[in-house]
Copies of this chain bind each other. A is one copy, B any other.
Amino acid sequence: MKRKAIGEQLLQKDIRPSFPRLRVMEYLFKNRNHPTVDEIYRELVQEMPTLSKTTVYNTLALFEEAGLVRRVASSENEARYDAFIEDHGHFRCESCGVLYDFTIRLEKAEEEGLDNFEIRKRDILYQGLCPRCRNSGIKKLIIDKGGYR
């Protein structure tokens, strides 16, 4: 998304498109790897030397309230953010820590016991091993047993 389009999106939500806000939103659109506040800050402070983390916090809270981004569920102590898009799942590799997106369709899922609930947000977090770490793990095991050279 172009910077101008982002500005218009912000204006639609009555958010003045200041430069820091534009850049935070642009960063989230370009980096779909669920960055932390610190990651966003460290990247943007390079071009905005006076940027403070408080502004990043303020901006993300503002965006979240407006429904433009969401804080994704995780098992960590640090918040991670995501430019809001339709429901999708996150897979976190326990070995290398990389976060993967995957599409998930839950129409067929039986959500027993939620008959009268109003569902506004679905967070799906899987954990395990990504293909790369899984393979290297298997190789390592074989090597340990002397099966390979």
Q: Is the interface of A mostly helix, strand, loop or mixed?
A: strand
Residue A129 at the chain B interface, CB threshold 8 Å:
yes
Residues of A within 8 A of B (CB): 71-75, 77, 79, 89, 91, 94, 100-106, 108-114, 116-131, 134
- Inter-chain CA distance A134–B130, complex, in Å, is 40
- Inter-chain CA distance A110–B100, complex, in Å, is 16
Chain B residues, Cβ within 8 Å of A129: 117-118, 120
Given the contacts A77-B77, A117-B129, A130-B117, A109 and B108 also touching, CB distance less than 8 Å: yes
- Inter-chain CA distance A1–B51, complex, in Å, is 54
Chain B residues, Cβ within 8 Å of A119: 91, 126-128
